[in-house]
Amino acid sequence: MKTTVVILLITLGMLTKTGKFETDFFKTKDGKELRITFIKHGSLMFEYDGKIMYVDPVSDYADYSKLPKADVILITHEHGDHLDSKAISAVEKEGTLLITNASSREKLGKGQIMKNGDSLKPDSWFELDAVPAYNTTPGREIYHPKDRDNGYVLTFGGTKVYVAGDTEDIPEMQNLKDIDIAFLPVNQPYTMTLLQADRAARVIKPKVLYPYHYGETNVEELKSSLKDIPGIEVRIRQLQ
């Protein structure tokens, strides 16, 4: 079986132009550098090939006026801890590509809609697939109903990053292949329990797993529960 090696260089607690946030560096399969900055909750920043991409920027988590301007902004869904017009405006510049699901586009009044199953290759530096994100536990479907919200699979230089959005361990995760880096949300009742995140990781089999959107959940437990699965490295970053 062919094995792909992802090279990871870690910098903890570093002070950079992004402020106090932790940042990890990966070498992508094309030999370039992918930098991931962990802002807070579900808010992330990706830097690759001189370009900047934000996922779910929210003003409560950072002063986005002090962060780099965005080439791309991805919004997973309409909830206030993921969709914030102020933060979007702070990082937008001429030519910024704003990608949203339909309900977020309705609230913002702007953005390019992607629905579950859509793919996009707007430029040579990345590819994008919108994938399902929803609740399955009875009584909790109201939080994230099926067919409304997005997760995203991002491909940078051949390296695949799965940002799950707000979801439980849904059957569609079986369709995710060759994921190098995965972000899985772990805070029931809104997203996954630790057991669900464990199950999702066993299905997806990412080389590096970041629990995110975890609130007060003790995500350190995933390191123990997944230690029997070779090839999955659980990394905890400060996202509270």
Instruction: Tell how far CA 173 is from the center of its chain.
Output: 15
User: pTM, whole model, 2 decimals?
Assistant: 0.92
The most distant pair of C-alpha atoms in the chain lies apart, rounded to whole Å, by 48
User: What is d(CA 50, CA 31) in angstroms, rounded to the nearest whole number?
Assistant: 14
Q: Tens-digit pLDDT profile for the chain (240 aa)?
A: 333 444 444 443 333 444 589 999 999 999 999 999 999 999 999 999 999 999 999 999 999 999 999 999 999 999 999 999 999 999 999 999 999 999 999 999 999 999 999 999 988 899 999 999 999 999 999 999 999 999 999 999 999 999 999 999 999 999 999 999 999 999 988 999 999 999 999 999 999 999 999 988 999 999 999 999 999 999 999 887
Look at residue 239 in the predicted model and tell me its pLDDT.
Answer: 86
Look at residue 58 in the predicted model and tell me its pLDDT.
Answer: 97
Residue 146, class by beta-carbon neighbours within 10 Å (0-12 exposed, 13-18 middle, 19+ buried)?
middle
CATH architecture of 36-234: 4-Layer Sandwich (3.60)
User: What is d(CA 108, CA 173) in angstroms, rounded to the nearest whole number?
Assistant: 29
Look at residue 86 in the predicted model and tell me its pLDDT.
Answer: 98
- Are the C-beta atoms of 165 and 76 separated by less than 8 Å? yes
Look at residue 11 in the predicted model and tell me its pLDDT.
Answer: 40
Geometric angle at alpha carbon 176, from 1 and 141, rounded to 5°: 150
φ and ψ at 49, to 5 degrees? Answer: 55, 40
Tell me the domain boundaries of the chain.
Answer: 36-234
CA neighbours closer than 13 Å in the CB half-sphere of residue 174: 3
Give the 3-state secondary structure of 159-203: EEEEECCCCCCCHHHHHCCCCCEEEEECCCCCCCCHHHHHHHHHH
User: What is d(CA 91, CA 70) in angstroms, rounded to the nearest whole number?
Assistant: 5
User: What is d(CA 27, CA 58) in angstroms, rounded to the nearest whole number?
Assistant: 28
Q: What are the C-alpha distances in Å from 225 to residues 52, 128, 203, 213, 222?
A: 34, 31, 14, 19, 5
